Chains A and B, each alone.
Chain A
Amino acid sequence: MKRFDVRPPVLTAQIAEDMTEIWSEWRRQKLPLYLFLGLCFNLVLAPAVFAATGGEMSRSQTYWLSALGLVTIALAIYLFFVMFVPEKF
């Protein structure tokens, strides 16, 4: 039986092109990567915070609270970075 490829070849090329662009942007722009990794890490951290609060807070509140903790740590790291390489700022 003869098989037919129903997907137009142009669309495949378009997808490949888009993927390449996303990948190159991904490599170029570090901030979205760090944000993504931070949010992923927060998924691990939030249950620990939830357990520590003993159920006083909802799951979503603990998720946001641990995210705030991460933002605070990120700010502290940023300020340390400024202290060591101030000429870049």
Chain B
Amino acid sequence: MQTPQDSDSLQSSRSGKRDSRRHTPKANMSGLYQRAIREAFIKLDPRTEVKNPVMFVVWVGTIVTFLVTLDPNLFGTVQADPGQQRLLNGLITFILFFTLVFANFAEAVAEGRGKAQADALRSTRSDTIAHKLLPDGSIQEVSSTELQRGDQVKVVAGDMIPADGEVIKGIASVDESAITGESAPVLKQPGTDIMSSVTGGTRILSDELILKVASDPGQGFIDRMIALVEGAERVKTPNEIALTVLLTVLTLVFLIVVATVSPLANYVQAPTTIAILISLLVALIPTTIGGLLSAIGIAGMDRVAQFNVIATSGRAVEACGDISTLVLDKTGTITLGNRLADEFIPVDGHTVEEVAQIALAASVFDETPEGKSIVILAERNSANINFNTDDASGVEFTARTRMSGTDLPNGKEVRKGAVDAVKGFVRSRGGTIPVQLDAAYERVSRLGGTPLAVCQDGEIYGVIYLKDIVKAGLRERFDQLRRMGVKTIMLTGDNRITASVIAEEAGVDDFIAEATPEDKIDVIRREQAEGKLVAMTGDGTNDAPALAQANVGVAMNSGTQAAKEAANMVDLDSDPTKLIDLVTIGKQLLITRGALTTFSIANDIAKYFAIIPTIFAAAGIGSLNIMGLKSPQSAIISALIYNALIIPALIPLALKGVQFRPLTADQLLRRNILIYGVGGVIAPFIAIKIIDVLLPFS
């Protein structure tokens, strides 16, 4: 049974893991706040302010209060002393002005962090001299900006890779720390779906590579990243648009209400001034969320970038929060991915050495980690290559045949692969299936491993046990997702028994065994047809259609260019498990926006009780002044100061996000209403009263 202590330690270790995965950007954040302060004033330009309807109303209000500060009798003769009235109007103008500045500052800070990251990326994108390979085989030195898609270039140790591309020849280690922050070099080689793509701006550390350029000038991966992180391509997400409409409706309603207050006030013999009416309007409209809305969205992108994931749009980040189905690959996502050969199980009277010999022959041309591990295990079992490899030919694994192997110089065919596929191959060669094969297959499957049968022509020699290990802590994370209403589906090319064992161990909700690449897109379409939003990860070219079909497609940076172009997010660390973190970040973004909207609207109650009773005290509603505020002037100024100060006070929350808890939608709603709804009602009562006490008004 799990004790609370266990739960706490689990929680802390999990958050520790999450933090360790968090990328510390090399972006220069010094001077961020000074730049943001300058930007906050620049953004006072009406052409910028008009894009935020709530703050634009405050902007117009500030201009009008400024006019009545210059001439208090501008819109009608004021009863009070003009000097005092000018002072009050001036104070109101000053506070409204800083309300605008604070709202702009919140946005500028969020944008500044993105721009700093973009600058860090831009520093990696320097023009370099590329060695372009001409059709006649000669090399021409050209600027990297002149390279076109399809050009071939040669890079040697020490060179900067001039453009995004695919490795077509050579093996070399590449330092990708400029974009991933990971200092360990990455091995790049051609032919495989993964590890064959390189990114412009990274540096080759050893050997040499021939690359085929995969992007046109200015359209490279880093160029696109800069544009996105900088916010140049930022467009409002559907949720942001819906919230903008809601805030605009509220603003319009309050504008009409406040515009009609004046005749009402005159009727009850409690005339008000234009400055006080504008104060009432600004206090009632949702300035808190209006000022922080764009900062919350930008910060969401920034949080994703801190996890070393580049999102192509805010829409994609937001979609993560609405995800209801996660489609996960088994290998690399749920299991550690480096499946290694652990045992040879002979059948039909063969010896372990014989199985090792055939397995070695079938794996000579296999460059995958699994293939290489088979070679090592076979050599450990005294197997050796007893044929001339130059005369033999390799047979590559395909999703259709689900086998790979070698055609030997003596005409014999050795194969290894999925047991069913090898059975079919053996039958096609006139062989028979040994009875022990199914027992060996089942034994490996029940251990959660992958059984690979090995055969030579029509004779099956045995089974290779590929050991697979489920990643630690996944069960708890899938439990969290389940509590949030997110369904997890595991896809694997493995047989049903292995898949069920791994699915049981990892705690996924559903699994699809013996899956082909086409099954991925089918399962996504089926879930989407039920009205669900689906997220998936992928790295291969064959994943590209499914990545494009999914609502959130996360491509691995080590994957092919096609996968990266089809996806709406790219994980620079190539860690498929991060999809779970992305769902958390997306939900955090939506929760933060909801929480601050609730808080902003709940604040109205206190502001209403602060201003209305004092304005209409002459009409006999002075008893509604439950806060006992000193005077109408003090009440209005206190409410406005609170209104202005709450924006910078909430900037850290908007940027960091509300703490995420794995709860159901109903539980989250109850929790939000309790904390941000009730809190939003109580907090301003206390804050306005304190400000009122501190103000030197009588």
Contact = CB atoms under 8 A, between A and B. Distances in A.
Interface of A: 56-57, 61, 64-65, 68, 71-72, 75-76, 78-80, 82-83, 86-87, 89
B274 A76 contact: no
A65 B259 CA distance: 12
B77 A61 contact: yes
A73 to B, nearest CB: 9
B236 A78 contact: no
Return the 4 tightest CB-CB contacts between A and B, nearest first.
Answer: A79-B252, A82-B53, A82-B248, A86-B244
A72 B259 contact: yes
Contact of A68 (B53, B64, B241): B64
Interface stretch (B68-76, B135-143, B431-439, B651-659): B68-76
Contact of B252 (A64, A71, A80): A80
B255 interface: yes
Contacts of A76: 252, 255-256
B56 A78 contact: yes
B75 A87 contact: no
Contacts of B274: 68
A71 B248 contact: no
B283 interface: no
A87 B252 contact: no
A87 B251 contact: no
Nearest to A69: B259
B60 interface: yes
Contacts of A80: 252
B57 interface: yes
Contact of A65 (B60, B76, B235): B76
Interface string B208-237: 000000000000000000000000000110
A61 B248 contact: no
A23 B41 CA distance: 32
B255 A72 contact: yes
A79 B64 contact: no
Given A61-B76, A89-B53, 18 more contacts: A56-B77, A57-B76, A57-B77, A65-B75, A72-B259, A75-B57, A75-B255, A76-B255, A79-B53, A79-B57, A79-B248, A82-B244, A83-B249, A86-B236, A86-B245, A87-B241, A89-B50, A89-B52
B256 A71 contact: no
Interface string B647-673: 000000000000000000000000000
A77 to B, nearest CB: 10
A83 B255 contact: no
16 contacts: A57-B77, A65-B75, A71-B64, A72-B259, A76-B256, A78-B56, A79-B53, A79-B252, A83-B245, A83-B252, A86-B241, A86-B248, A87-B235, A89-B53, A89-B236, A89-B244
A42 B179 CA distance: 59
A79 B250 CA distance: 10
A72 B256 CA distance: 9
B51 interface: yes
Contacts of A57: 76-77
A17 to B, nearest CB: 27
Contacts of A65: 75-76
Contacts of B51: 89
Nearest to B243: A86
A64 B245 contact: no
A72 B57 CA distance: 10
Contact of B236 (A61, A79, A87): A87
A82 B241 CA distance: 10
Contacts of B74: 61, 64
A82 B274 CA distance: 25
A87 B251 CA distance: 17
A82 B235 CA distance: 15
B393 to A, nearest CB: 58
Contacts of B73: 61
A75 B282 CA distance: 14
Interface string B246-270: 0011011001100100000000000
A55 B60 CA distance: 28
A86 B293 CA distance: 14
A49 to B, nearest CB: 11
Contacts of B67: 64
B276 to A, nearest CB: 14
Nearest to B238: A87
Contacts of B248: 79, 82-83, 86
Contacts of A72: 255, 259
A79 B251 contact: yes
A65 B249 CA distance: 25
A56 B236 CA distance: 49
Nearest to B236: A87
B264 to A, nearest CB: 16
B244 A79 contact: no
Contacts of B60: 71, 75
A42 to B, nearest CB: 13
A68 B244 CA distance: 25
B478 to A, nearest CB: 37
Nearest to A84: B245
Contacts of B75: 61, 64-65, 68
Contacts of A75: 57, 60, 255
Interface in B58-85: 60, 64, 67, 73-77
A51 to B, nearest CB: 15
B279 to A, nearest CB: 15
Contacts of A82: 53, 244-245, 248
Contacts of B241: 86-87
Contacts of B52: 89
A75 to B, nearest CB: 6
Contacts of B255: 72, 75-76, 79
A64 B68 CA distance: 11
Interface string B25-65: 00000000000000000000000001111001100100010
Contacts of B56: 78
A72, A75, A76, A79: residue with the most chain B Cβ atoms closer than 10 Å = A79
Contacts of A89: 50-53, 236, 244
A64 B52 CA distance: 26
A82 B245 CA distance: 7
A87 B53 CA distance: 12
Contacts of A86: 236, 241, 244-245, 248
Contacts of A64: 67, 74-75
A82 B249 CA distance: 9
Nearest to B47: A31
A88 B236 CA distance: 9
Contacts of A78: 50, 53, 56
A89 B56 CA distance: 11
